[in-house]
Amino acid sequence: MELSAAQSFHGLDVPAAVLTEFTPPEAWAGRQAAGTLWVATDQGRVEAFLGATVHGDRLHIDEFAVAQGHQGQGLGRRMLERVVAWARDRAFRRLSLTTFRNVPFNGPFYASAGFRIWDPAPREIAALLAGEAARGLKDRCAMVMEL
């Protein structure tokens, strides 16, 4: 499913690994146990997921993916709204993520959902961006939504 979602990056200036590598399912078990893994299913198949991690009063979105055949139909926006509501209910103060600044369904999508570019970002977020740059990801930015 993650690889299906990633096919949207075909033709963009991304490292080949973005199109071929995926997180093993067991790596999500910790988020599932913590209640910070959301999935959308269709006839028992996972068609979208959002995995996040708690950092104090900030919830960080580690990964968000909608299977290619389901993209562009509002599922991602609805799922994000669900997560925002969940975080507000639990008195989180911020929602954060890193993403491609100019890919239409990344930076501009999140901006339309209420995120803003986080620059300067706190040290731990800057470290994430540095790690992404070291893996060859270009034009990345941190974004934050004040809850």
Ligand X SMILES: CC(C)(COP(=O)(O)OP(=O)(O)OC[C@H]1O[C@@H](n2cnc3c(N)ncnc32)[C@H](O)[C@@H]1OP(=O)(O)O)[C@@H](O)C(=O)NCCC(=O)NCCS
One symbol per residue from 38 to 57: x for binding ligand X (CB under 6 A), - otherwise; what is it?
--------------------
Q: Is residue 107 within the footprint of ligand X (CB under 6 A)?
A: no
The torsion angles phi and psi of 83, rounded to 5 degrees, stand at -70, -40
**Length reported for the chain:** 147
All residues at 6 or more sequence positions from 55 whose CB lies less than 8 Å from its CB, including other chains: 124
Q: Is residue 104 within the footprint of ligand X (CB under 6 A)?
A: yes
Measured CA to CA, the distance from residue 25 to residue 31 in angstroms comes to 11
One symbol per residue from 64 to 93: x for binding ligand X (CB under 6 A), - otherwise; what is it?
xxx----xxxxxxx----------------
Query: Looking at beta carbons, which residue is closest to ligand X?
Result: 76
In the numeric block, which tokens belong to residue 143?
């974004």
Chain residues in the site for ligand X (CB under 6 A): 5-6, 8, 64-66, 71-77, 97, 99, 104-106, 109
